[in-house]
A and B are shown apart, each in its own frame.
Chain A
Amino acid sequence: MRAPSAFLWQVTKLLATLALTFIGLLLVTFLIGRIVPVDPVLAVVGDRASQSVYDKAYIELGLDKPLYEQFWIYMTKMVTGDLGQSFLTKKDIADDILRVFPATLELATVGILIGTVLGLPLGVLAAVKKGKLADQLVRVLGLVGYSAPIFWLGLLGLLVFYAKLGWVAGPGRIDIGYEYSVTQTTGLLLIDSAMQGQWDAFRNVVSHIILPASLLGYFSMAYISRMTRSFMLNELAQEYITTARVKGVPEWRIIWIHALRNAAVPLVTVIALSYASLLEGSVLTETVFAWPGLGQYLTNSLQNADMNAVLGGTMVIGVIFVGLNLLSDLLYTLLDPRVRRRG
């Protein structure tokens, strides 16, 4: 019965790392908040406030306390989910972020689905046809994905597929006509509209999401196909592949069952990481497509020097990033029988 304790130990270690990383994230955002040249008091009271009002706000914000105490206050607030108030909307930043997050989640999820569905087979193909034309094509396709600025491709996409060809709907998540007919329960419009049986609205949502999601999908495809290729090449050179060939196992089974099943173990990490990096890509993509998600919230706040909101958003994205890393570690444990301990 040593097995479960080993697993527990692993989880404890992960959680300790997580807590440390979280405190580190907080420290970084806190320090960034301190180096802002903008006077946080003025941002609250406005620059015409009298000295007494100013002093009161100064103490309310805790700026008279020593730095470590300020950090402690900041940390306890953050842990309880209090990200402070937005200078701009005068609302709680946590509420703001909760409101916009589903849009980003939906976009990134559709993106990663597209990226995985395309990237995985292309990577396998490239590995099997190593050095041949197909391999080169996949490689170039991936390199183009690595090299093109996403906001620029987005603009070109809008120009061609929306403005010129009219194949897809333009910026935004949904046409105004449908916006109020779909009740938002999950906040994911694809799911909400489908569950309410509003197929016109659903089609409209699809037509809006397809372009930005394909774009994000293309970028994750570049990464996923490249890593799949490299993992598959590694697996295909292993001795157990020869064993399978000796057994007379058909080639498709060797590739898709024997090799891919082994390559899948590290691939899970890759997919989780590229899912996280889509959050990053979403900042630029959402700006281009006027997508009302976390990325646009962040850039809006940036342009209005709303530092609290910027740091809150950064914090949230950092936490999600770390969370996805953790999740991929756990999945790794589940997928690899060599790591997993069967009780």
Chain B
Amino acid sequence: MSMTESSRREWLLTDHPASRRQARLGQMYRTWLTFRQNRLAMVGLGIVVLLVLVAIFADLIAPYDPLISGDLRTARLLPPSWNHPMGTDEQARDIFSRVVYGSRLTLMVVALVAIIATPIGLLVGTTAGYFGGWVDIILMRITDIFLAFPRLILALAFVAALGPGIENAIIAIAITSWPPYARLARAETLTIRDTDYIAAIRLQGASSARIISGHVVPLCLSSVIIRVTLDMAGIILTAAGLGFLGLGAQPPQPEWGAMIAAGRRFLIDFWWVATMPGIAIFAVSLGFNLLGDGLRDVLDPKGRG
């Protein structure tokens, strides 16, 4: 058993890979080895994995229903105890259960923003970079205009226009998230646009759309995805901020930012109501930040020093 494991390890770390697949897997394994040495990054990875698990198994983990009130006479604003590890809120709901279910909302926001913003950024960036000239100037000007607004403020304005709600919050955050990805994708495209293999494909008569979608986008994808990962903590904080201002998820949804806003009224006498969901936001965004930091260290050793 240990024999096969050590030989697999050898196969991965060999200096003379026999195939491209072996080389690529070996490279990934080496990256993983370096990454594993970064203790903080591993903590981050652990937190993120935990978030996903909690979201998947929320039904099993949460002891109470997150939306239905408990006994309003006896169970309101109870301090943390064995029965209610994070206490209860003003509607006698178990805060721990709400935080657990809130992980689903957080994960959904992060995932949807990534799914919406990444393609927009890729499309704008690769198109601008591939065609150059006026297309480039116009698209990049638009990108810069979006970058000129502070992110939260622009998201605020969009949500104000679209109406509050978690879907609109997601759309607003996505609209404000794509510009940096577009810039990155453009920069990557510029470096590959004039390479010989792209020229070869062009000579074969491939259309621009085909070249961009089939050859340019895949090459930009990995760096954009890394950048999106680095942004996840920011997305979570923006979403929580919108929730706190009452513009994100609406009650009674257990969104962490909105829960803090609700707990604010009882802050001085019942501190746990606002504190607990805040710890959850903090932990999760710290997790994403640690993970992103570690990724950056591994993948761009020169940039971080």
Contact = CB atoms under 8 A, between A and B. Distances in A.
A28 B143 CA distance: 12
Interface stretch (A182-190, A256-264, A277-285): A277-285
Contacts of B305: 130, 230, 233-234, 237
B304 A152 contact: no
A103 B158 CA distance: 25
Interface string B235-256: 0010011001111000000000
A155 interface: yes
A328 to B, nearest CB: 13
A36 B148 CA distance: 22
Given A314-B153, A321-B148, A152 B281 contact: yes
A148 B153 contact: no
A254 interface: no
Contact of B286 (A24, A27, A37, A143): A143
Given A143-B286, A149-B260, A307-B161, A314 B154 contact: yes
A310 B157 contact: yes
Name the prevailing secondary structure of the A interface residues. helix
B173 interface: no
Interface stretch (A80-88, A172-180, A297-305): A297-305
B257 A149 contact: yes
Given A21-B144, A163-B268, A310-B157, A151 B293 contact: no
B142 interface: yes
Contacts of A310: 156-157, 160
Interface string A22-50: 00110111001101110000000000000
A182 to B, nearest CB: 28
A144 interface: yes
| Among B40, B144, B156, residue most surrounded by chain A Cβ atoms (within 10 Å) | B156
Contact of A147 (B152, B157, B282): B282
B156 A25 contact: no
A316 to B, nearest CB: 10
A140 B41 CA distance: 12
A230 B153 CA distance: 28
A151 B244 contact: yes
Contacts of B157: 29, 32, 310-311, 314
B152 A283 contact: yes
Interface in A135-168: 139-140, 143-144, 146-153, 155-156, 158-159, 163
A21 B289 contact: no
A156 to B, nearest CB: 7
A33 B144 CA distance: 20
B151 interface: yes
A318 interface: yes
Given A20-B141, A25-B148, A234-B305, A280 B153 contact: yes
Nearest to A307: B160
Interface stretch (B59-67, B75-83, B215-223, B271-279): B271-279
Given A25-B149, A35-B162, A283-B153, A156 B245 contact: no
B286 A144 contact: yes
Interface in B259-305: 260, 264, 267-268, 271, 274-275, 278, 281-282, 285-286, 288-290, 293, 303-305
Contacts of A284: 152, 241, 244-245
Nearest to B263: A155
| Among A36, A143, A298, residue most surrounded by chain B Cβ atoms (within 10 Å) | A143
B149 A303 contact: no
A149 B160 contact: no
B203 interface: no
B152 A280 contact: yes
Contact of B245 (A150, A299, A317): A299
A158 B267 contact: yes
A322 interface: yes
A153 B151 CA distance: 20
B161 A32 contact: yes
B11 interface: no
B260 A317 contact: no
8 contacts: A21-B144, A21-B145, A36-B160, A148-B281, A149-B240, A152-B281, A155-B260, A318-B153
Interface of B: 40, 141-142, 144-146, 148-154, 156-158, 160-163, 233, 237, 240-241, 244-247, 257, 260, 264, 267-268, 271, 274-275, 278, 281-282, 285-286, 288-290, 293, 303-305
Interchain residue pairs A-B with the least CB separation, the first 4: A24-B145, A152-B278, A280-B150, A147-B286
Given A276-B150, A303-B246, A310-B156, 18 more contacts: A21-B141, A21-B144, A24-B142, A35-B161, A37-B161, A37-B163, A149-B237, A149-B240, A152-B275, A152-B281, A287-B244, A298-B156, A302-B245, A305-B160, A310-B160, A314-B157, A317-B153, A322-B148
